Structure 1
């Protein structure tokens, strides 16, 4: 036992000595005498190429080479033939390109660079050799491609023949270019095409204007109140109405609108092209047309009958030639907060040194400078776990002196880990930058949203029809409202009121009310929460109505219906409808069950009918963003939040708590599991006012937009709780008024109700009280509250067997007549006059 016990200390000492010897051997690992950074290797290689090229050119031009130089020149001439002078030029250009090209910075030289250079030289010599190869070898002298070119062509000729040899040589030269400059074939071709197009445009036009800005019409005929007065006649903004879409013109054989140079437009740009106005309108526009149009016949077709039935509503003429706003309404963003080259190199070395200090061997292989953050792509060595890098997040932030960093491990599609470091200042991504970009123009989306720019500085564009609904969440001041304004402005730049209709809900009363004057609105901006649920219910009924029309005509979605409408003139036009709710939390507190029901039903079914939702909230909790809402909103945007719990509610994972704010966001697309970090698009109040003013001036005088502010709820009023939710816009006239033409309108040739099926008309929702229902239900409601000495909507619902909306309307009527008191939170209302007799006149009579 004693001997066994004495062996334990010796064994522990032996193990300790082994560990110490292991540490000493680790410390004693040999290191190279000269350790060059990647940029030093690149510079030295480029200088060597330039020096060899310069010396060779001097020898060829001057003829003064000395003994060694003469041998060198003779060897070069015999080896390269006529390509002897091209070889130094190629080497010099290659060296200069390596020095000035940004993509070669911080990249280590590899065998691919040398192989690419050799392929370029060999291909060039072979191409020079092909014309002279027919001569005998002893007669060639210094012609052709020299010895290298001769044996290359000789081997290819014997193997595959002359035509194939020329093709293979050309491909080898192209491959050498790709290897030497570390670029892809697509990048090479695209860059060449863009440079050629820019050169061609500069050669023929003398100016470099944006094609989109050049084709867009100007704002209006007079200077706006928020712009400085014009300096001269040339500076005045003149309206340029555009012709209607070809599909619409083909339906009615309408001539094209004359260009503005020959016919000066009137004061309102939308009234310059007459188009086909509603037949039931009292008077056609007084402004003279740009070109003479055929006279409009009397209402006889089904299309005109439907238009006559809708003449009293706030629906713009569906075949009007609307002007589109130009990009001159938007401002250029000048601030650029991207990191400089020296800062990028310093941070790359710091990342590598910090990881090496924790015995994590990794190398920075690429850098993506963005508007808000810079992503460093770190490639770990073989055998290094990714978790070793992710666990060092705080240590890296300490070494980099960064407020916070985000690690994406790994980057999808790459064998690298992304370390995102905030820039010293955030660049402003203006709306004009995104809308005027090639990505936005080439996108085939029907409702394109300008999201912003990613971490590489590339514009990001999303299609609302593919989302098909969007959930936006983030803390206060993180940039949600600015992003929503940018989305709306991006749509207003591309879509006329005939193509897109908006329903805006703004409980804050300050974010979206500025859009009250645009003709795209189906109704004034909804600012009272009591009207939001009826609005959503109307949208649900409109969705069902569209599905019935689709089923009748055998189409599946709105796109198929529009294709059919191009061939048939009797089909009802259907624009896209976008519903924007700026704050979901207040709505969920007021009516959580009804709001969730209608929102989920629209999100599940409304995509095919062209109805889409954008919902924003600053309280991303589980009682606001419920599981049903999340399941039906696969496309989500998360701005900066305060905790990881909120980030998991929005994105089902962490990440949003590390964002910087001021538009920094994470975008989850419906068709991709990858989170994309984007710096959101910024639009200023001045730009929003310009767009609103443009569309307000473009609105025709005979079709006023719903520009008045919402009025308080009144019995029987257009915006009251017992009237339609909108000012005669979404629902149509009451059934008693449907067959009676409006005052001042000529009678139609047939009844709209008889000519058009009932489900194709805009009908008033059934949850709103008419005059007859008030006469019937109001006395019963008064008797009930007298009997129970309390008043509540739930009581009237149960006893009268009516819905919540009608019960709430009856409660408001009782309060206005002084029978019940005001609301007191969640308690029942007090009955003020239990013995109150019925008034002599009903509210409808009043």
Structure 2
């Protein structure tokens, strides 16, 4: 968004963006609560970088046109859009000419013509566009500030009638895309280290807590790493304390499934079908319980799921049934393996976001097609959204740690969390520690990954092979194999002999 457009948007949207139209203030804890001001968000000056990128865009355009002629590609390039991460060049096929597929060999030649720029991408079809496109990475990254995304949400939803609105990001054509989590109604997010996954999750969370009263929307944050969500500790939007232990996470998911069933019992008694209908009835019958939207965000979902098999059961149950009762899941992982994101989860969670991942296999696991392995990191993403054709590329909004702290400090100063008492009981009574499994033990062993790679590469799930290769004892070799069984990489036949699991062969083959 250009600076003058942003200023105009502030003038138009800010008066309605500060506090939604409500008859009376809402209480959060003991204090009268008002939504955070947009003044807590910071502007970013991209002017100097934009000038340099625009200059480079013209030079790349000339090189691209010469390339099309040199390689006899029956198309012309008649324009481009400068996005935060890439320049999208418009490719129009000449009249009467059949569209040519620009394969990897052609794109590699284009990369050399562009001075060795990697990660060039060809898009044969773009939804709602009459041209194909070639995307070439920028030499410098433009920052897409969360403030610009917040202003866009204020324009799209002036009356705050879309409580789960959040920004996907800025597209290469400069359009800021905002979507409703409730319409998805769950979201799967994957990205490797430094991909920008955490920043994307923060932009989603800040959107929800800046635009909703704590009585209308609650968060359940599950953070096995104990660091990503610590900034949100004690904010009034929390449905329960931040969950950092596996045992408590399992119980929390079980209680959420029970809360889902309880809500449907209430709906059936009132003859309403979903949360919005219930709230309409509640306006007339003020003694009815106030049911908030509940957004459940699980970081490092893969680790949690592999540590306890019951996690999958509760997650799938909630994902399949919870939409109408106002409970929505956001699952994030660094490791989108087939052991975790299986067909059942993908069937229940159709909306997916992939930031940069390590391989084409991981991209296909999350998106059902390749592409995410060629992303640029730092918030560059591909999104698969229900109702839309193909994948869409965006740059995630950036919100600084300081901005997050300022907003959360404001929230804590204006309201205290009122937890659901059923959920706080699990913190008051100790949970029996779960017995460690072979996989738990091997995850702390620096050699385990090397052993696993050896077994999969040689297709040799045998204790003797591991003993000879790694000079370990029988017990240690068996422990490695049992851990691999736990991961689903190897299986035992009826005679107790181990072999490589078929889907592991497909993944590693």
TM-score using structure 2 length: 0.78
Distance 1:372 1:526 in 2: 35
Residue 539 of structure 1: aligned partner: 256
Distance 1:595 1:376 in 2: 45
- The structure 2 residue matched to 1:377, chosen from 90, 101, 104, is 90
- The structure 2 residue matched to 1:677, chosen from 381, 386, 393, is 393
Task: Note closer, same or farther for the CA distance 1:434–1:792 as it changes in structure 2 (3 Å cut).
Answer: closer
Determine whether 1:427 maps to 2:142: yes
Distance 1:642 1:603 in 2: 27
SS, match of residue 504 in structure 1:
strand
Task: Note closer, same or farther for the CA distance 1:243–1:366 as it changes in structure 2 (3 Å cut).
Answer: closer
List aligned pairs for 1:100-499, cutoff 5 A. 210-214=11-15, 245-246=22-23, 316=29, 321-335=32-46, 337-338=49-50, 340-391=53-104, 392-401=106-115, 402-437=117-152, 439-441=155-157, 445-499=162-216
Task: Note closer, same or farther for the CA distance 1:465–1:716 as it changes in structure 2 (3 Å cut).
Answer: closer
Q: Do the aligned residues in 2 keep the contact of 1:500 with 1:520 (CA within 8 Å)?
A: yes
Distance 1:565 1:722 in 2: 40
Q: Do the aligned residues in 2 keep the contact of 1:216 with 1:325 (CA within 8 Å)?
A: no
Q: Do the aligned residues in 2 keep the contact of 1:639 with 1:666 (CA within 8 Å)?
A: yes
1:617 Cα deviation from its structure 2 partner: 0.2
SS, match of residue 572 in structure 1:
coil
1:584 Cα deviation from its structure 2 partner: 1.0
Residue 500 of structure 2: aligned partner: none
SS, match of residue 143 in structure 2:
coil
Task: Note closer, same or farther for the CA distance 1:383–1:705 as it changes in structure 2 (3 Å cut).
Answer: same
Q: Deviations over 1:796-817 (max 9, x none)?
A: xxxxxxxxxxxxxxxxxxxxxx
Higher strand share: 2
Task: Note closer, same or farther for the CA distance 1:571–1:394 as it changes in structure 2 (3 Å cut).
Answer: same
Distance 1:341 1:477 in 2: 27
Task: Note closer, same or farther for the CA distance 1:494–1:424 as it changes in structure 2 (3 Å cut).
Answer: same
Residue 586 of structure 1: aligned partner: 303
Residue 352 of structure 2: aligned partner: 636
Q: Do the aligned residues in 2 keep the contact of 1:519 with 1:695 (CA within 8 Å)?
A: yes
Q: Deviations over 1:644-703 (max 9, x none)?
A: 11111111111111110000001111121231110001111101111111111101xxx5
Distance 1:505 1:484 in 2: 13
Determine whether 1:522 maps to 2:236: no
Task: Note closer, same or farther for the CA distance 1:377–1:716 as it changes in structure 2 (3 Å cut).
Answer: closer
Q: Deviations over 1:759-801 (max 9, x none)?
A: xxxxxxxxxxxxxxxxxxxxxxxxxxxxxxxx9799xxxxxxx
Q: Do the aligned residues in 1 keep the contact of 2:237 with 2:417 (CA within 8 Å)?
A: no
1:716 Cα deviation from its structure 2 partner: 8.5
Q: Do the aligned residues in 1 keep the contact of 2:356 with 2:381 (CA within 8 Å)?
A: yes
Distance 1:353 1:690 in 2: 51
Q: Do the aligned residues in 1 keep the contact of 2:73 with 2:100 (CA within 8 Å)?
A: no
Determine whether 1:600 maps to 2:316: yes
Q: Deviations over 1:118-158 (max 9, x none)?
A: xxxxxxxxxxxxxxxxxxxxxxxxxxxxxxxxxxxxxxxxx
Distance 1:691 1:459 in 2: 22
Distance 2:119 2:417 in 1: 51
Q: Do the aligned residues in 2 keep the contact of 1:360 with 1:384 (CA within 8 Å)?
A: no
Unaligned runs of 5+ in 2: 438-478, 484-509
TM-score using structure 1 length: 0.48
Residue 488 of structure 2: aligned partner: none
Q: Do the aligned residues in 2 keep the contact of 1:642 with 1:657 (CA within 8 Å)?
A: yes
Distance 1:378 1:581 in 2: 41
Distance 2:287 2:55 in 1: 66
CA RMSD between the two structures: 3.1
Distance 2:125 2:316 in 1: 34
SS, match of residue 139 in structure 2:
coil
Q: Deviations over 1:487-539 (max 9, x none)?
A: 11111110011111110011111110111120111111111111111111100
Residue 804 of structure 1: aligned partner: none
Q: Do the aligned residues in 1 keep the contact of 2:75 with 2:94 (CA within 8 Å)?
A: yes
Q: Deviations over 1:376-425 (max 9, x none)?
A: 01112234443343452111122122122111112233332210011111
Q: Do the aligned residues in 2 keep the contact of 1:435 with 1:441 (CA within 8 Å)?
A: no
Task: Note closer, same or farther for the CA distance 1:585–1:466 as it changes in structure 2 (3 Å cut).
Answer: same
1:343 Cα deviation from its structure 2 partner: 2.8
- The structure 1 residue matched to 2:270, chosen from 553, 576, 601, is 553
Q: Do the aligned residues in 2 keep the contact of 1:509 with 1:527 (CA within 8 Å)?
A: yes
Q: Deviations over 1:166-186 (max 9, x none)?
A: xxxxxxxxxxxxxxxxxxxxx
Unaligned runs of 5+ in 1: 1-193, 202-207, 218-241, 247-255, 257-272, 278-314, 724-790, 795-823, 828-846
Distance 1:719 1:245 in 2: 40
Q: Do the aligned residues in 1 keep the contact of 2:236 with 2:411 (CA within 8 Å)?
A: yes
Q: How many corresponding residue pairs? A: 428
Q: Do the aligned residues in 1 keep the contact of 2:234 with 2:417 (CA within 8 Å)?
A: no
SS, match of residue 389 in structure 1:
coil
SS, match of residue 537 in structure 1:
helix
- The structure 2 residue matched to 1:645, chosen from 350, 356, 361, is 361
Q: Deviations over 1:617-641 (max 9, x none)?
A: 0001101211111111111000001
Task: Note closer, same or farther for the CA distance 1:316–1:435 as it changes in structure 2 (3 Å cut).
Answer: same
